[in-house]
């Protein structure tokens, strides 16, 4: 305020105002030196600044009257507050700030926070590293369908008993979710690069390499659940190329990509169909709709035969026109969905995709692969072509083996695959050679079961969609659901 200029000279002596100005000048010079000074020296200077500021303010108070003393108090508080603010700012910027500016001026940088890892393109970071706290993305949670008498299943979500059961199995659900997230990211990557002209071997090996990285393959604790199926056109399932297979993906092909991942034997079985020619869009839509209908209808205490009847009704409601000819889409009656057990892709129950079949009911806590196959052919498949898929019989006991090569091969299978499915390419990858006779011997003894490709009539087209669902106590979780399908 300007009224201080009117006071008697003794209350406004110029020499008493010089010291605070010099103090401010000292602050500026010392602040420049702080940029290159070590931490201990900085603390000493800060202490010195505080004492100077306090001394200057005290001098003003002693030499002035009551009004001037009040101004000294305000100046003291402002200067101390300014010093505190500077100290807090410097403390946050000390790491990595010093020595960055050759002119000697302090270069302010924000302290970088150590964030979570993000996925690369193409994917290479394991899912467990993307979610280090183990909180993996939850699939699509759905309320169970109402019972036959119309009673809603909404009570399950609020039942404390069911919620306690759900929490008790959280570790199991977490394993499924980790494997499902790996599946989602792998198939998103596959869709970005798959194209006509690639060999089927290249497609499968590239997909499997990506899966192994994201699932962080670790023996039988984490890895691929079964070989990559890439069945084409009239071949509906169980085809993966053996070494030397020259098959190339073409523009007019209908290719079913069926692959699985697992954590601790908790298997994700999920499939989709790839086409490039839009003339097949109707066929894909029919099968996708049928699969989603089966998922909606599935639930605790639902009869398996009722699920099949519903799927058939939806799929047969579609007619598609391909190359000028109209086809009613037929469900392939001898292919089914199935229940999934730990380290066991088919654990006993089948989910038909036509009416009839078992009246067995789905039960709480079970896991199912709901998959449907549609065809423009006869709607039935048979074994055809060279076999590539194999799997150890889950319930086989001790069987004497006479061939040393067969004993060795069985040890390799037990160590690397256990009761999970495998293919000949995977044996080649492990360095095995000249094993076909030993493999045939194990099949003849019933220790290993062969799963040859399944085909409809030649000239027909088949499509497939599949998801894995968890029948949790509180709700139904479509754990493999993604933005794509």
Classified as helix, coil or strand, 145 is: coil
Residue 322 and residue 411 in one domain: no
Residue 271 and residue 300 in one domain: yes
284 in a structural domain = yes
Query: Of 61, 175, 258, 306, which residue is the catalytic one?
Result: 258
Q: What is the CATH number of the domain that holds 169?
A: 3.90.230.10
Residue 216 and residue 340 in one domain: yes
251 in a structural domain = yes
Residue 396 has pLDDT above 70, yes or no: yes
Query: Of 253, 269, 289, 456, which residue is the catalytic one?
Result: 269
Residue 265 and residue 181 in one domain: yes
Residues comprising the binding site for substrate? 238, 346
What was the pLDDT predicted at 60?
Answer: 46
Q: Is 363 known to be catalytic?
A: no
396 in a structural domain = yes
What are the CA-CA distances from residue 359 to residues 58, 133, 146, 348 (Å)? 95, 42, 18, 14
Could you give the CA distance from residue 178 to residue 136 in angstroms, rounded to a whole number?
6
CB-CB contact of 253 with 260 (8 Å): no
Q: What is the CATH number of the domain that holds 440?
A: 1.10.10.10
Kindly report, residue by residue over 6-40, the tens digit of the pLDDT. Answer: 444 444 444 444 444 444 444 444 444 444 444 55
Residue 323 and residue 348 in one domain: yes
Q: Is 432 known to be catalytic?
A: no
Instruction: Quote the strand ranges of 202-333, DSSP E.
Output: 222-232, 235-237, 254-263, 266-275, 319-322, 325-328, 330-331
Mean per-residue pLDDT for 363-391? 98
What are the CA-CA distances from residue 62 to residues 23, 59, 80, 91, 390 (Å)? 18, 5, 19, 34, 97
Residue 187 and residue 328 in one domain: yes
485 in a structural domain = no
pLDDT band at 296 (very low <50, low <70, confident <90, very high): very high
Residue 227 and residue 342 in one domain: yes
Q: Is 183 known to be catalytic?
A: no
Mean per-residue pLDDT for 418-439? 97
What was the pLDDT predicted at 147?
Answer: 85
For helices 15-34 and 66-93, angle between their N-to-C axes, nearest 10 degrees? 0
Q: Which residue is listed with tokens 């360095």?
A: 431
Exposure class string for 186-199: b at 16+ Cβ within 10 A, else e: bbebbeeebeeeee
Rounded (10°) CA dihedral 308, 310, 312, 316: -170
Residues comprising the binding site for a divalent metal cation? 258, 269, 338, 371, 466
Residue 305 and residue 340 in one domain: yes
Residue 295 and residue 417 in one domain: no
Residue 336 and residue 441 in one domain: no
Compare 481 and 62 and report the one with higher pLDDT: 481
% pLDDT > 90, the chain: 74
Q: Is 3 known to be catalytic?
A: no
pLDDT band at 61 (very low <50, low <70, confident <90, very high): very low
Domain count, the chain: 2
CB-CB contact of 407 with 401 (8 Å): yes
pTM of the model: 0.77
pLDDT band at 301 (very low <50, low <70, confident <90, very high): very high
Mean per-residue pLDDT for 299-324? 97
30 in a structural domain = no
What was the pLDDT predicted at 188?
Answer: 97
pLDDT band at 72 (very low <50, low <70, confident <90, very high): low
Q: Which domain holds residue 195?
A: 160-380+457-478
Residue 187 has pLDDT above 70, yes or no: yes
444 in a structural domain = yes
Q: Is 346 known to be catalytic?
A: yes
Residue 424 and residue 465 in one domain: no
What was the pLDDT predicted at 358?
Answer: 86
Residue 426 and residue 338 in one domain: no
């Amino acid at each position: 305020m300007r009224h201080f200029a009117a006071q008697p000279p003794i209350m406004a002596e110029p020499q008493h105002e010089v010291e605070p100005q010099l103090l401010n000048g000292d602050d500026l010079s010392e602040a420049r030196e702080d940029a290159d000074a070590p931490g201990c020296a900085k603390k000493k200077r800060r202490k010195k600044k505080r004492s100077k500021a306090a001394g200057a303010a005290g001098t003003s108070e002693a030499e002035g009257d009551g009004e001037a003393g009040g101004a000294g108090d305000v100046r003291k508080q402002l200067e101390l507050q300014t010093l505190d603010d500077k100290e807090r700012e410097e403390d946050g910027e000390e790491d990595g700030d010093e020595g960055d500016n050759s002119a000697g001026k302090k270069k302010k940088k924000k302290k970088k926070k150590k964030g979570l890892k993000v996925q690369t393109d193409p994917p290479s970071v394991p899912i467990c590293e993307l979610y280090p706290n183990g909180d993996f993305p939850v699939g699509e949670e759905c309320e169970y369908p109402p019972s036959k008498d119309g009673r809603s299943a909404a009570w399950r979500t609020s039942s404390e008993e069911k919620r306690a059961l759900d929490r008790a199995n959280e570790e199991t659900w977490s394993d499924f979710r980790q494997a499902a997230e790996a599946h989602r990211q792998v198939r998103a990557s596959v869709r970005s690069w798959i194209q006509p002209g690639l060999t089927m071997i290249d497609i499968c090996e590239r997909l499997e390499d990506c899966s192994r990285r994201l699932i962080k393959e670790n023996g039988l604790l984490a890895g691929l659940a079964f070989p990559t199926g890439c069945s084409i056109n009239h071949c509906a399932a169980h085809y993966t190329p053996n070494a030397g297979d020259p098959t190339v993906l073409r523009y007019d092909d209908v290719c079913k990509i069926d692959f699985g991942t697992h954590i601790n034997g908790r298997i994700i079985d999920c499939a989709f169909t790839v086409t490039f020619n839009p003339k097949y869009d109707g066929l894909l839509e029919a099968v996708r709709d049928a699969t989603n209908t089966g998922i909606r209808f599935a639930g605790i205490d639902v009869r398996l035969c009722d699920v099949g009847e519903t799927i058939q009704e939806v799929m047969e409601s579609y007619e598609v026109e391909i190359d000028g000819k109209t086809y009613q889409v037929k469900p392939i009656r001898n292919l089914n969905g199935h229940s999934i057990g730990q380290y066991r892709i088919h654990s006993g129950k089948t989910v038909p995709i036509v009416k009839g079949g078992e009246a067995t009911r789905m039960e709480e806590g079970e896991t199912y692969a709901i998959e449907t196959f549609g065809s423009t052919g006869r709607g039935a498949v048979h074994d055809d072509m060279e076999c590539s898929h194999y799997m150890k019989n889950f319930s086989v006991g001790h069987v004497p083996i006479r061939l040393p090569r067969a004993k060795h091969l069985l040890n390799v299978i037990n160590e690397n695959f256990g009761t999970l499915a495998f293919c000949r390419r995977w044996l080649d990858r492990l360095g095995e050679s000249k094993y076909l006779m030993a493999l045939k011997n194990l099949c003849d003894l019933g220790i290993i079961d062969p799963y040859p490709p399944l085909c409809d009539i030649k000239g027909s087209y088949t499509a497939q969609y599949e998801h894995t669902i968890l029948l949790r106590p509180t709700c139904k979780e479509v754990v493999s659901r993604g933005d794509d399908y």
